[in-house]
Structure 1
Amino acid sequence: MKNPLDSAALNAAIENVHRAGMPGLFAEVRDDDQVWRGAAGVADVTTGRPVTADMRHRVGSITKTFTAAAVLQQVESGRIGLDTPIGRYLPKLVPGERGEAITVRMLINHTSGLAEYLPYAYPSLKAFPALADTGPQSLDDHRFTRFDPAELIEMGVTAPAVGTPGGTPGVYSNTNYLLLVELLQQVTGDTAERYITRNVIERAGLQHTELPAGPHVDGPHSQLYEAWFGMIDPPRDYSVYDMSWVGPSASLISTVADLNRFYRLLLAGEIISPSSLEQMQRTVPVVSQEGQTIDYGLGLHPLRGPGQGTFWGHGGTVWGGGALAMTRADGKRQLAVAVNLQRWNRLDSSGRPQPHPIDGALATLYRVAMHD
């Protein structure tokens, strides 16, 4: 007989993350028709307002799965070729030989060799992700900056390449997904935000998920505290922020319940076809923004669970906020968690993040949540 969700263990695990130094976090764990939702800590360190499990939250690069699904829908309709060079669609943005060498697939799985534009858009983060000599001043400078996506793409395309097109390991880069956003707009004749909203978010029946137009999170939500590796002390609230610096590659607002619903339907073949899902789950080695080599598919990342089977999903961070959503391949066991502090690890003299109690506490929460 299958073990029921262990509510006591989950409650203890989420509370321990808060005790380890996380101001607030909340999560939903599902096993078939069993659901556990929990929250620990505060949404506002000044007032002591508690976090609740139904809060809306900036989920960062989890957005990439939504964007990838939208592109694959257009592949299914014949408007986009997965292995067609991006230069055939967007010759002005990726001109010349690179435009012919980089395919749509290479953008989705980060093997394009295109550099990350972030250090160029945020000058004081120049050494990102090796941050020993950088400061967080750019975060404040750009709180209400309205970035032009074409200019951000140009920063990434004109920066020194980080690899050859199709070469592995790939290097994770938001430049890839800003190009996919432009590609969607080119082939659908609509904004990527509207297309993704209509064909992915609404198709999945997500009631509390949106790509925001302005800098605010509507509805009940937590403040988002950025520590920037101890350089912002105490951590500063960046919950109000213009998200044009990432656009529909990482700007999604959602809830833990909506995230679990989305990944459950995606893995059931209800957002894209089973053959497209199979393409999504073909992985290559990619170097993450944290410098670790991970397996990465088409907007999906696998994680081997402590019990049986592989979990698929994505993580994401924004300034001050983070989230992780993972669903077992059979769709039955699920975890979605949101946290309201980022970059809590201080750096050593060589710029490497130092261990923090939050790391171990989160790992325990994930283990308890994914084990049946």
Structure 2
Amino acid sequence: MKNPLDSAALDAAIEIVHRAGMPGLFAEVRDGNQVWRGAAGVADVATGRPVTADMRHRVGSITKTFTAAAVLQQVESGHIGLDTPIGRYLPKLVPGERGDAITVRMLMNHTSGLAEYLPYAYPSLKAYPALADTGPQSLDDHRLTRFDPTELIEMGVTAPAVGAPGGTPGVYSNTNYLLLVQLLEQATGITAERYITRNVIERAGLRDTELPAGPHVNGPHSQLYEAWFGMIDPPRDYSVYDMSWVGPSASLISTVSDLNRFYGMLLAGKIVSPSSLAQMQRTVPVVSQEGKTIDYGLGLHPMEGPGQDTFWGHGGTVWGGGALAMTRADGTRQMAVAVNMQRWNRLDSFGKPQPHPIDDALATLYRVAMYG
């Protein structure tokens, strides 16, 4: 059964997330021609400036869907082979036997076995995800650091492997998508930012979406508050941050309206071909950065709820901010939600994140948004 938009229920659900402890959040839900936009809480805890539903926001790894779509366009044009070893394209970055064994597809669905470079780039996070031993010091140290992507890739490639190439479950790793960025640049002869902007962002008609060059968010936006599992108290604003630590694998700035438009067009076969979309929706088990096993395709993952409706999209986090965008497989129902605080769960004595009222409140908001 399809449920029409219930504005009152959505208004109540978003307000409950704010009351549970989220400084501010905003969302857009679409059902056919019906559109609900809502916001609750503040964009700036110091001034009390409210959040609004049209704010621009760092959306983290939602960027990976954009990057994957760009790579698949190049697969369609014959410049990249989905099952070609990455060593044929980037022998210096992934040398030897691993370069021969790891394919482009394995990078896209996180089954390459390549480790995450993040704990090596951010020394105080060395124990991540063994969280009790980490600290937020590196977040401040690298606020304006300009990282070289090939150096980050080298950290991930030289770190101990987290699995055999093609083995499952895969392990989610930003190293994979930084390699895809390098591959895209080699195949197109221009920067990945420029290619994605021209062929994905502009093709989808997105007006408030960009891969920024500098550390600032242009236009109306919220501050972004990082709590780092209660170790930063009160949470600190990281809205000004050099995003070269993830580059075009997680640095996108967008709006909830633009995200819904993008995923609607992607699932309608208007960004990549229907056969490429089918490849994106072929999933394998992958262990997420939170340690949960999820189904993951090529820059897309499904969410299933009551009634067996499958939604496709991606989530993302940056220091202080996060977003989730999901669209029903038939394109009729869509949700995009943005929050301005991250890692609100405190840790127990074993270093495991404890449940927080925000978790349940967000789960309820997602359920009301997707299923009514």
Task: Report TM bin, short chain.
Answer: over 0.9
TM superposition shift of 1:308? 4.5
TM superposition shift of 1:303? 0.3
Structure 2: distance between partners of 1:134 and 1:96: 33
Contact persistence 1:321–1:341 (CA under 8 A): yes
TM superposition shift of 1:336? 0.1
Matched residue, 1:102:
102
Contact persistence 1:112–1:176 (CA under 8 A): yes
TM superposition shift of 1:50? 0.1
Contact persistence 1:58–1:252 (CA under 8 A): yes
Structure 2: distance between partners of 1:314 and 1:129: 20
Contact persistence 2:3–2:371 (CA under 8 A): no
Structure 2: distance between partners of 1:293 and 1:265: 28
Question: Structure 2: which 5+ runs fail to align?
Answer: none
Structure 2: distance between partners of 1:219 and 1:63: 19
Contact persistence 1:284–1:297 (CA under 8 A): yes
Contact persistence 1:181–1:192 (CA under 8 A): yes
Q: How large is the RMSD of aligned CA atoms in angstroms?
A: 0.8
Aligned residue-pair number? 372
TM superposition shift of 1:350? 1.2
Contact persistence 1:306–1:370 (CA under 8 A): no
Contact persistence 2:17–2:358 (CA under 8 A): yes
Structure 2: distance between partners of 1:66 and 1:281: 14
Partner SS for 2:190: coil
Structure 2: distance between partners of 1:228 and 1:307: 36
TM superposition shift of 1:309? 1.2
Structure 1: distance between partners of 2:204 and 2:282: 23
Structure 1: distance between partners of 2:250 and 2:199: 18
Structure 2: distance between partners of 1:164 and 1:71: 23
Partner SS for 1:28: strand
Matched residue, 2:269:
269
Structure 2: distance between partners of 1:293 and 1:130: 17
TM superposition shift of 1:113? 0.1
Range that drifts further, 307-316 or 25-34: 307-316
TM-score computed with the length of structure 1 as normaliser: 0.99
CA deviation profile, 1:240-296 (whole Å, cap 9, x unmatched): 000000000000000000000000000000000000000000000000000000000
TM superposition shift of 1:369? 0.5
Range that drifts further, 298-307 or 40-49: 298-307
Contact persistence 1:58–1:318 (CA under 8 A): yes
- Residue 11 of structure 2 is aligned to residue 15 of structure 1: no
Partner SS for 2:307: coil
Partner SS for 1:132: helix
Deviating above 3 A after TM superposition, structure 1's stretches of 4 or more consecutive aligned residues are: none
Structure 1: distance between partners of 2:87 and 2:2: 51
Question: Structure 1: which 5+ runs fail to align?
Answer: none
Structure 1: distance between partners of 2:129 and 2:43: 27
TM-score computed with the length of structure 2 as normaliser: 0.99
Structure 2: distance between partners of 1:156 and 1:188: 24
TM superposition shift of 1:133? 1.3
TM superposition shift of 1:131? 0.8
What fraction of aligned residue pairs are identical, expressed as a percent? 90
Structure 2: distance between partners of 1:209 and 1:284: 29
